[in-house]
Amino acid sequence: MKLFAKCSDCNSEIKIKTFLISNRIELAKSKGEEFEQRCTHCGHRNEIYVDEVIAEKNDSLIFIVGGISFLLAIALTYFFWHYGYIAAVSFAIPLLLSTTISQNQRNSVNLFNGMYFNSKKRLERLKSKSSVN
């Protein structure tokens, strides 16, 4: 799962580097309720509130695990074929692993995006942003 927020100046995505953060409460514990992050596109310093962070699936992880498990499936097929077994089932391993990881990522993203840290503060910030625009 990758986390990002929108830059208030240029509206581009700001990647938030985290390790094993699964919800906004853990993000608030590691970075604070509000934290500063510089936009890599325009260089603007953004004050980001934890509830403004959005999660997305990390597709590169799925491709890496799928590729490694595909190579493992080829090796297993060769091994079993060499000993007289037909190992067509071993090609189901990459599909099964990729599907499981994709579903796990989707569940993590839905959990992260569906739960807010402090909904009252979030509503106040949304009202203040809409009154400025």
H/E element, 36? strand 34-38
DSSP state at residue 50: G
Q: Count CB neighbours of 73 within 10 A.
A: 20
Span 87-105, pLDDT tens digits: 666 767 788 888 888 899 8
Span 1-57, pLDDT tens digits: 889 999 888 889 999 888 788 888 888 888 888 889 888 888 889 888 888 899 998
Q: Per 3-state DSSP, what percentage of the chain is helix, strand, and coil (rounded to 5)?
A: 55, 15, 25
Span 7-18, pLDDT tens digits: 888 889 999 888
Model's pTM, two decimal places? 0.70
What token pair was written down for 62?
Answer: 């799925």
- Over the range 104-127, which residues count as b (16 or more CB within 10 Å of their CB) and which as e? ebeebbeebeeeebeeeeeeeeee
